[in-house]
Amino acid sequence: MIIETRGVAKRFGRFEAIENLSLGVPEGSVYALIGPNGAGKTTTIRLLMNILQPDQGDASVLGTPSRELSARDFERIGYVSESQRLPEGLSLAHYFDYLRSLYPSWDATLEKQLREQFELPPSRRIKHLSHGMRMKALLVGALAYRPKLLVLDEPLSGLDTLVRDEVVHGLLQQAADTTILISSHELAEIESFTTHVAFMQNGRLLLQEGIEDLQARFREVHVTLSAIRDLPQPLPDGWLLPTIEGHRLRFFASHYQGDSGLYQELAGHFGAVTMECEPMPLRAIANSLMQHRKRNPGS
């Protein structure tokens, strides 16, 4: 594992920001940390980057305990976040001169290529950059030394679609040689290249899983019943957010294993039915899980 945490907890005063968090980010993955605002994504990333220290539990990054991460380790870790401080008075050219001197593994050819690709104006001072340009400059600064691990905190938020595409393109160019941890709201943008997802809510991990497995077991199910019935009680395993109106039943199946199994399950509860199952985009999976958790806090 490139990143591993066991039972990590963090409080701010009385507020429990992170509880009992155990994550594992495999080498070579694009690991997406997903959750609503306030779920604890940024806190998690700051704990991993040794900007904050856990109150309980252990975290290791590239094999080093997070509390011991030093400048040396950050030569192999690229970190980009919206709230990063930059030397605002420097021109971009000077900024990259400065970064180049910091990293032994800096690849000047890659730097040049990315700067051209992102159309970053060398003489512009950092304080005069647009939000999009700022994020692109940060990304060049994190990619050009070819880190073993890239950690990106909301790299796409606030960017227009054109810049998002550019940033994604820049990431994918490096994705074969690195591990990427990315927190994001923009699920549709990252779905196609994510390999693993972790959902967080209220400081807890709801799940972490390979995206193909996750997509294989989730279905949006529409059923037409032959007779009006109530929902079975207790609810069958893995049915999320069921609603029944007249002859129509809708729910999200979270343990789907093929149409025939589900059909038999439905027939067992309702007799003859017709059903339609559709695969769900990541955004729909995340929404259904999080709403389910909101309505059933204990489960």
Partner 1 sequence: MVPFKLKLIPGQSIFDQVVFAATRSILAGELKAGEAFPSVRALALDLKIHPNTAHKVVQHLIQERWLMAQPGVGTVVAQPPKARAGDRKRLLEDEVEKLVVEAMRVGVGLTEVQQAVADTWSDLRGLKAVASDH
Interface with partner 1 by CB under 8 A: which residues?
28, 30, 168-169, 172-173, 175-176, 188, 191-195, 212, 215-216, 218, 274, 278-285
From 213, 153, 157, 161, select the one nearest 180 (Cα to Cα): 153
Closer to partner 1 by CB, 73 or 166: give it.
166
Pick the closer one to partner 1 by CB: 202 or 288.
288
How far apart (Å, rounded) are the C-alpha atoms in residues 196 and 35? 14
We find the least distance from the C-beta atom of residue 284 to partner 1, in angstroms, to be 8
C-alpha distances out from residue 194 to 28, 182, 189, 219, Å: 11, 9, 10, 19
Q: Which residue has the tokens 């701010």?
A: 12
Beta strands in 35-158 (DSSP E): 56-61, 64-65, 77-81, 149-153
Asked if residue 198 lies in contact with residue 24, where contact means CB atoms within 8 angstroms, the answer is no
Query: Which is nearer to partner 1, 50 or 254 (by Cβ)?
Result: 254
Q: Quote the least distance from Cβ 87 to partner 1, whole Å.
A: 32
Smallest gap from residue 183 Cβ to partner 1 (A): 17
Least CB distance to partner 1 at residue 185 (A): 16
Between 97 and 213, CB nearer to partner 1: 213
Would strands 239-245 and 219-225 be described as parallel, antiparallel, or unpaired? Answer: unpaired
* Cβ 274 to partner 1 shortest distance, Å: 7
Nearer to partner 1, 8 or 167 (CB): 167
CA dist 29 and 178 (Å) reads 8
Strand, helix or coil for residue 201: strand
